[in-house]
Amino acid sequence: MKSTRRRSRKEFLQATSSDGLEELRLAFHARLQSDRVHFTTLSAALARAEESPGWIFQDLQFRAHKIRGGAAIFEIAKIEAAAFALEQAAISASLSNANNTDVGVWTALEGLVRLMGELDAGVDPAQLAGAGRASAMGAAKRLER
Helix axes 77-95, 54-73, angle to 10 degrees: 160
Lowest mean pLDDT, pick from 3-17, 37-51, 97-111: 3-17
pLDDT at residue 21, rounded to an integer = 86
**CA contacts within 13 A on the Cβ side of 138:** 6
Cβ density class 39-64: b for 16+ within 10 Å, e for less? bbebbeebbebeeebeebbebbbebb
Higher pLDDT, 42 or 20: 42
pLDDT at residue 65, rounded to an integer = 98
Whole-model pTM: value is 0.72
- Name, in order, each residue with C-beta under 8 angstroms of 134's C-beta and a sequence gap of 6 or more: 106, 110, 142
| 78-135 confidence digits (pLDDT tens) | 999 999 999 999 999 999 999 999 999 999 999 999 999 998 777 554 443 333 333 3
